[in-house]
Copies of this chain bind each other. A is one copy, B any other.
Amino acid sequence: MTISVAVSGASGYAGGEVLRLLAHHPDVAIGAITAHSNAGQRLGSLQPHLHSLADRVLVDTTAENLAGNDVVFLALPHGASAELAARLPERTLVIDAGADHRLESEAAWEKFYGSAHAGSWPYGLPELPGAREALRGARRVAVPGCYPTSAQLALVPGFAAGLLEPDDVVIVAASGTSGAGKAAKAHLLGSEVMGGMGPYGVGGGHRHTPEMEQGFGRAAGEPVRVSFTPTLAPMARGILTTATARVRPGVGAAALRAAWESAYAAEPFAHLLPEGQWPHTKQVLGSNHATLQLAFDEHAGRVIVVCAIDNLTKGTAGGAVQSMNIALGLRESAGLDLEGIAP
């Protein structure tokens, strides 16, 4: 059975990564490839690394061009996906890489995004408790933010097992620059980025914070408070997340490890590494895998969990394709049988 898939935002990093994964997906035929301002251009001039799709011509991002496909991947500015999705046939599986449908709470959305809440769609992180079931047969998918993907993979097992205090989670993450997109902004110039590191969005206002608190809170069964600081690292891809939470009294290293082990033992894409081996983003570059490790800092009374992902793959397009596979009843790892690229 061949699924026809349309991809919008094809000239950007997320759209390009979706196309890279779909190009050799055994069950997919790529349909319309669309972008706002590059209609009529050959994909090869915009995404020269996608050799097998070089001669495809981009069309405008319109409902007309996207309809007629079984699946539509959207990467649009805020507020646009709901409206476009509403104009597609009912049976179309719409997968939104944007933020519009990630948050369940209207209040949280309005506080952090300052616009009307578009509602929430099934959340594209299958490793979360209950998420895989919610994705089966779904016709709408909200792809998580990249930082929330790695943060939730890092800490949800502890919350789900009732081992962590909910009130004082501290997360610091380092991301490659592709997470900031392809727009030409001065602070993202190679000259500004190479050879150094700096933070941004510090202090509680980062839009990924409510998304993390949503996932942690759902798993914990109570509100969780997160302090999140992102930093920009001199690399193109990857997110290394260092997440810490206070451990409930009486919980020890063995119980902690057991919780993460059981959470991920059967997961195809989330791996708790053998003891003593620590994640590194080069382990997962270009792949849908996430690697994790934890340590119990007894002195500080905190568990420290480190998670490495590729922000464009597991953090965006890979998570999207994985969710698509589940929604359509395909093999979950179809098109995602990719090892990391190292060195």
Partner of A189, one of B189, B233, B296, B341: B189
Contact of A119 with B by CB under 8 A: no
Near B by CB (< 8 A), chain A positions 45-69 give: 45, 47-54
Taking a contact as CB atoms under 8 Å apart, the answer to whether A244 and B170 are in contact is: yes
A176-197 interface mask toward B, CB cutoff 8 Å, 1 = contact, 0 = none?
A: 1110101011101111111111
A297 touching B49, Cβ below 8 Å: no
Interface residues of A in 1-60 (CB under 8 A from B): 13, 16, 20, 23-24, 42, 44-45, 47-54
Q: Is A319 an interface residue (CB 8 A)?
A: no
A302 cross-chain contacts in B, Cβ below 8 A: 168, 170, 227
A238 proximal to B (CB < 8 A): yes
Contact partner, A204, options B23, B202, B229, B298, Cβ 8 Å:
B298
Question: Would A300 and B190 count as touching, CB distance under 8 A?
Answer: no
Which residues on A are within 8 Å of B, measured CB to CB? 13, 16, 20, 23-24, 42, 44-45, 47-54, 168, 170, 172, 174, 176-178, 180, 182, 184-186, 188-200, 202-204, 209, 225-227, 229, 231, 233-238, 240, 242, 244, 246, 271, 273-274, 277-287, 289, 291, 293, 295-302, 304, 306, 308, 312, 337-343
